């Protein structure tokens, strides 16, 4: 596998995230549950100013995730396919982490589980994209 595959996965994660959490799919729900409608103009402006740094950090975090996935796929042997490895890792780490976050979020039960489904669902789509991209470079 090449560094190009890892970089493409990082780009794919950013594209998926912007669609998934943007106004096209779940952005309005997410913003409502985060309390964006109660933010002052100053708070919204401060958030906009910090976005570039947040996107850069998210890109780095995506690269770390895909590298761990790539390493796991390459080191697991036997009958497990790359997609199976990705699904096992997604379920074992993403679902459990997002589930814990939902349990302790302090939000209403409905909102916390909506956030869980949106977050974990977006990660599932991203993991599938990672496997497809990594598979093209095997």
- Which pLDDT score is estimated for 38? 81
pLDDT tens profile 31-83: 888 777 788 888 878 888 888 899 999 999 999 999 999 999 887 766 668 89
- Which pLDDT score is estimated for 43? 83
Q: Which among 99, 107, 95 has a CA at the least distance from the CA of 32? A: 107
* pTM for the whole structure: 0.88
CA distance 112 to 122: 15
- Which pLDDT score is estimated for 78? 61
CA distance 65 to 86: 11
User: How many domains does the structure of the chain reveal?
Assistant: 1
Q: What is the residue-wise DSSP string for the chain?
A: --HHHHHHHHHHHHHHHHHHSSTTTTHHHHHHHTTGGG--HHHHHHHHHHHHHHHHHHHHHHHHHHHHHHHHHHH--SS--HHHHHHHHIIIIIIHHHHHHHHTS-S-HHHHHHHHHHHHHHHHHHHHHHHHHHHHT-
Domain extent at residue 18: 3-136
């Amino acid at each position: 596998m090449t560094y190009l595959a890892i970089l493409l996965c990082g780009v794919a994660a950013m594209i998926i995230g912007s669609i998934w959490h943007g106004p096209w799919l779940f952005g309005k729900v997410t913003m409502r549950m985060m309390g964006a409608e109660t933010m002052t103009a100053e708070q919204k402006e401060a958030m906009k100013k910090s976005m570039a740094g947040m996107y850069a950090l998210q890109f780095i975090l995506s690269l770390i995730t895909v590298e761990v996935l790539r390493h796991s796929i390459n080191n697991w042997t036997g009958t497990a396919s790359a997609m199976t490895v990705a699904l096992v890792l997604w379920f074992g780490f993403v679902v459990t982490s997002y589930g814990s976050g939902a349990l302790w979020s302090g939000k209403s039960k409905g909102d916390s589980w909506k956030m869980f489904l949106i977050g974990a669902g977006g990660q599932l789509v991203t993991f599938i994209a990672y496997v497809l991209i990594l598979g093209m470079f095997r």
